[in-house]
Amino acid sequence: MPTSHDGPGRKARPRRYLVCEPRYFAVQYAINPWMSQDVPVDAARARRQWQTLVDAYGAHGHAVENVKPVAGLPDMVFAANAALVLGGRVFGSSFHAPQRRPESAEYETWFKEAGHDVYRPESLCEGEGDLVPAGGLILAGTGFRTSRAAHAEVQEFFGVPTVGLQLVDPYFYHLDTALFPLDDGGAAGSGPANIAYYPDAFSAGSREVLERLFPRAVLATRDDAMAFGLNSVSDGRHVFIAPQATHLIDQLAHEGYVPVPVDLSEFHKAGGGIKCCTQEIRS
């Protein structure tokens, strides 16, 4: 593993994350190409990996809050899919798969108890799985889970320009498996924001859009993407990333980011990784 270096132009911003303990995590059904009931999950290892991620957030100065897991909802650990939170406003979820639909109510309850109103989308929408704030925009994925109609709802709710992106590879069924924001722009948010992404996860037109919006983007290989390297979380300086994404780690270190490898390989069996387990609460 390469030794990463601190980039003088990179500035971390403290974040607030919502997570859900994987007490009931298992692969009990198959709703994406990663899932197979024939591949058992090591539950104890999954809990250790998840705790390592939570500890890493805390060690880097980020606040972590927990929603209580619920028996019978094995994918509730994937907190990112529950909502998009911007400016303290919560746009909830409406899951494509019936097995996951009860999760919405559990997260809605948590947000309401924390003092937030929650908007319930009329269209299929899977939260930060397909909704990625970046550079004053909301990048919005579609093709497998979240509907195009939800993009319009998101824009009306937040009043933020929302850019639709077509996903074309079923292995990258959520936008957050193919793209993640690196920073808010410059050392203190003064420059253009940037992202990392895997071009072949997107349609030709969507690739052109991303090239226009983010000409300095870090481009990942398919091996990086298949290792869940793009299901990462960045605080603007530190990038919490799957250690298997070695080429992407090299690129990020070269760009002055500080990779923080965290292995969530047990969660890959369900098609999830670091970002899937992490909901950001943006006040």
Give the model's pLDDT for residue 25. Answer: 98
- Start-end of H helices in 60-132: 102-113
Cα–Cα distances (Å) from 167 to 69, 148, 282, in that order, read 30, 12, 26
Instruction: Give how far the C-alpha of residue 4 lies from the chain's centroid of Cα atoms, to the nearest Å.
Output: 23
Per cent of the chain over pLDDT 70 is: 95
Residue 250 in any domain: the answer is yes
Residue 141 inside a domain? The answer is: yes
Q: Where in the sequence is the domain holding 42, given as residue range(s)?
A: 16-280
20 counts as catalytic: no
Per-residue pLDDT reduced to its tens digit, 68-122: 999 999 999 999 999 999 999 999 999 999 999 999 999 999 999 999 999 999 9
Q: Backbone phi, then psi, for 64, in 5-degree steps? A: -125, 125
Percentage above 90 pLDDT, the chain? 93
Residue 10 lies in a domain: no
Tell me: pLDDT of 54 over 50.
yes
What six digits make up the tokens of 215? 């000409």
Please report whether residue 153 resides in a domain: yes
Check: CB of residue 16 under 8 Å from CB of residue 200.
Answer: no
Q: Which two tokens stand for residue 278?
A: 């992490």
Task: Name 146's Cβ contacts closer than 8 Å, sequence gap at least 6.
Answer: 96, 123, 124, 125, 126, 129, 130, 131, 140
Maximum CA extent, the chain: 49
Identify whether the C-beta of residue 165 lies closer than 8 Å to the C-beta of residue 139. Answer: yes
Phi-psi region for residue 206, left (φ > 0), alpha (ψ -120 to 50) or beta? alpha
Q: Cβ distance 255 to 156 under 8 Å?
A: no
Say whether pLDDT at 276 is over 70.
yes
Assigned domain for 6 exists = no
- CATH assignment of the domain containing 177: 3.75.10.10
Does residue 213 lie within any of the structural domains? yes
Q: Report the DSSP beta bridge partners of residue 20.
A: 67
Instruction: Check pLDDT > 80 for residue 7.
Output: no
pLDDT tens readout for residues 167-220: 999 999 999 999 999 997 543 344 579 999 999 999 999 999 999 999 999 999
Among candidate residues 125, 151, 238, 276, the one labeled active-site is 276
Separation between Cα atoms, residue 12 and residue 239, nearest integer Å: 10
| Full-model pTM | 0.95
254 domain-assigned: yes
- Answer yes or no: are the C-beta atoms of 179 and 199 closer than 8 Å: no
In the chain, how many domains are there? 1
Rounded Cα gap, residues 42 and 24, in angstroms: 12
The angle subtended at Cα 267 by Cα 262 and Cα 272, nearest 5°, is 90
Catalytic pick from 151, 174, 238, 268?
174
Tell me phi and psi for residue 136, to 5 degrees. Answer: 75, 10
Residue 8 is assigned to a structural domain of this protein = no
Among 134, 135, 167, 138, smallest CA distance to 150 is for 138
